[in-house]
Amino acid sequence: MNLFKRKKREEKVENPYSKFLSDEDYQQLIKTDRFTVGKLKFLGNNLEYSDAPGFLHSLQELFIDEVYSFIPETENPIIVDCGSNIGLSIIYFKQRFPNAKIIGFEPDAAIYKLLENNLKSFNLMDVQIHNAAVWTEDTELDFYAEGSLAGSTEINYANASDNKYKVAAIDLKKILSSNQVEFLKMDIEGAENTVLPDLANLIDSIPYVFLEYHGMLGKPQQLGAMLNMLSSAGFRYNIQAATEGVKHPFYEVPKHGFENQLNIFCKKSDEHSGSIRHVN
């Protein structure tokens, strides 16, 4: 069995991301163990990653599927990026909208260092990042590091005993009320169940919202209330599965992690576009 695994790891696999990665870097990525920090060339610049499968997942989602693609109303849109991770989302936004101003948040201390290094490598302008979570007030929260895409203030996804520490949290309302935000991206691993309802008086000023919803096992489901809030704020939404989930949900439940994960694309409907608030 070990010899078979070794042979499989040594086989060369076609690179589906040749537009972004060299064949050499891709072959190295698919052979790299999980949660191993590495470095490669991405779009001609050095980029550091925390987890090879997590990097490839994000590359597919952001640069191939372009889940954050939108048509800005201005040449220099303000984008708030909650859950910046190693910076691929910010790099994507700046590739699409070079004049955008981006405010990013990443609470994981180790991943934040990679985020800093990657933004310096790409020499991106008008980007402000915070080593903090977003929340309903300025405070400190317990954070459970996972080493890739699932660090959370809500759930110990890694199910480890030594990955918990305090992180700063910033009141997202302050950020939204002081900026004319055009696109809000929220991928905060379950914290959206608390943070989004707190934005009820501000969310209607934003033309585009991307929300990754995480259903919390054993807790009341918040999806219906959140969708009602978005509808009341004048959004039309489209929902797509972010992960496959269980095959037979009538009698199967996940053993660990999230009950479901959904990508929710929210756009102000035409009849409500005039209600968008402009911040001085």
Query: Residue 116 sits in a domain of what CATH number?
Result: 3.40.50.150
Query: 185 lies in a domain?
Result: yes
Residue 31's contacts (CB-CB under 8 Å, 6 or more residues apart) are 9
Token pair recorded at residue 52: 């090879």
In the structure, what pLDDT confidence band is assigned to residue 9 with cuts at 50, 70 and 90? low
Query: 43 lies in a domain?
Result: no
User: What pLDDT, on a 0 to 100 scale, did the predictor assign at position 3?
Assistant: 38
Query: 4 lies in a domain?
Result: no
The pTM for the full model equals 0.91
Query: 50 lies in a domain?
Result: no
What range does the domain containing 264 cover? 65-275
Q: Encode 247-275: b = buried (16+ Cβ within 10 Å), e = exposed.
A: eeeeeeeeeebbbbbbbbbbbbeeeeeee
Query: 42 lies in a domain?
Result: no
Per-residue pLDDT reduced to its tens digit, 193-239: 999 999 999 999 999 999 999 998 888 999 999 999 999 999 999 99
Query: 29 lies in a domain?
Result: no
Q: Is the pLDDT of residue 260 over 70?
A: yes
Query: 33 lies in a domain?
Result: no
- Distance between CA atoms of 88 and 55, rounded to whole angstroms? 9
Query: 120 lies in a domain?
Result: yes
User: What pLDDT, on a 0 to 100 scale, did the predictor assign at position 161?
Assistant: 86
| Overall average pLDDT of the 10-22 stretch | 89
- Distance between CA atoms of 208 and 236, rounded to whole angstroms? 10
- Beta strands (DSSP E) in 101-194 are 101-105, 127-130, 133-135, 139-144, 164-171, 181-186
Contact of 144 with 163, CB cutoff 8 Å: yes
| Overall average pLDDT of the 12-27 stretch | 95
Contact of 199 with 205, CB cutoff 8 Å: no
In the structure, what pLDDT confidence band is assigned to residue 257 with cuts at 50, 70 and 90? confident
Domain count across the chain = 1
